[in-house]
Structure 1
Amino acid sequence: MPIHEPVLNPAFNITRASHIVLTVKDLDLSRDFYREVLGFHETVRDLDTVYLRGMEEGCHHSVVLRKADGAPRCDRIGMRMLTNEDLVRAFDFFSAEGIEVAWVERPYQGQTLHVTDPVGTQLEFCASMPVEPRQNHSYHLYRGGAAQRFDHYQIVCYDVQKAYDFYTKIGFRLTEYVCPGDADDRVWGVWLHRKGNPHDIVFTNGKGPRMHHFGMTVRGGDDLIRAADVAGSLGFGATVERGPGRHGMGGGALFLYFRDPDGHRIELFNAHYQTIDLEPPIRWTLRDPKRTDVWGMPALERWFFEATCFTGQEPQLPSINISPRTLEALIAEGVFRARF
């Protein structure tokens, strides 16, 4: 895999992964799950939409749940830019590149751009939202996992190389990447950042574009256990999909994955390493058992292959036909019988 030189002065300044817009079938049920189990703070609700944010977030919203008929979808993943001038420069840049871009009006956001990236990811950029009081010291309001702030999203992508080329060009820096094997340098996954930790956006090989998950920080491992306990107590136990575990990639975070009532996947996790200085990215191979969990437990097949489609985008088959090792595969191989 060719490693690109980072673009340190891009045409416009994206600051971070900011928010996500999801469609849901039952707004009341979804609201209860996000508030009581994951611990989001509700900013406002109208007839068909709920706006939520993490407990330490000062932005108006980081998760938007919109009631809609049909299969649940991811409408947009959102990123913040530093200023409105950056938005104008971005519009000019994307237009010159022949990339679909449009100004739109969105509630509780300033000027907003809609962009479809070269692999079909539906993006939304804004530079401002109403500022709300941070609730991180309002301990009497903490519920469930007490989600603190929006951190990243992972996208299943049919051409990871194309995504990497594009996002490097607009200023994202590579921290870690995955190749199929020691002697196979094709790129299977890339971890890209703007805000100075391992990733704002991740692209992994697969049928896409689809939204695999979005990640929210929590204070510590106890919050993961409490979220799972509350899920079980309130009848949401089946939403716990994977974990607790400890990632190898991304700095060794403790994690727990949920599927909300519509199947959208959310990760709660507790830590990242800092990556502000210029340094070479870390290379992993797909077969490294400690890549996704240093405790050696691979994920279920559905964790790798199920994801949320984007509104208006038809997923395409991946350019690399190689799959990661799953828990089902290890059981079939008799690995656990041999170990225990």
Structure 2
Amino acid sequence: MRRSKDIPVSLINLRIAVGETFGARRATVIEDANLTEKVLSSPTSRVSVDTTMAVWESLVCQTNSEDIGLISGSKIRLQLAGVLGYVMMNSSSLLVALEKLCVYQRLVASIIFCEVIPKGKVTRIEYTMQEEWKDNFRYTVDFTLSALVFMIRNCTVAAVSPLKVGFHFPKPANYKTYLELFELTEVEFGCDHSYITYSSIDLENKVSGSDGDMYKHFDAMLSSAGREHDRLNQYTRLVRKSIEKSIAAEAPKVEDIAQELGLSVRGLQVNLKNEGTTFQSILKTVRKELSIVQLKNRELNITDVAFLAGFSDISVFSRNFKKWTGLTPSEFKAEH
């Protein structure tokens, strides 16, 4: 679940500061993105996805650098993620820190979500866009993957680097910066999903300077922040709950959910838009999550799972599942 104002200004200020080192003017970015210094100087302020994209476009235009997202991500520090960052800094291992990031990423920025997928000796961090793809989302994907690689690299004394990094968009004309930033890591483009893979053993490394008592302290604060975030996104939560309750063989319609909640379709759509999401986006997320969980159930076959996820046609279910995970339902079930 995400809110209409999704991105903390701490991340916007970081991107602008990096852009300034390449010749961008802060005042021009602010003007181009219709921002104000008052918003950018408030530590609790957040900005919309559209504003974030306007910031990226201004920076790219001024610096003439398509790599600004990658470079900005390499400058990230966990403190910029607020209380989530402090929980990660005091986690017992890199894997625990990653798992916390996946559970609470909605508090930081959730235009793109990640999931930790253990695969024996390798652990894959897979990313899924929460909105229909636009070309300028590339800069956010670059920033997000670069940021994670450098956060992990900087929070342990061990030399932990990814085995492979993949981007779901086509290979850029100039991809030299990708190879330089990720050093010896294999980089590929045009994947089904953007992803990072690590050796599972590497992720068992302790986070440098972590403190168990501090972890408990910040984790309690993080849980409270999560509850407050969900309270602010009450319609998203209610719609999700209604979909989960009614989905089977056929996906519920927005008209049915609106009626159940005592709202007009228009009223429900407006409330969801104010929370930064749509009915179709929530439905897609529920179907994907339900499919992944149920396919791991040995007692259910693929036909059963398709029915539970609201698909009456197995071929349609298989196509959607392959789009979500990069695997067919049969391949996923075999792996798990």
Normalising to structure 1: TM-score of the pair? 0.26
Normalising to structure 2: TM-score of the pair? 0.26
- Report which of the two structures shows the higher radius of gyration computed on alpha carbons: 2
- Higher fraction of helix: 2
- Higher fraction of strand: 1
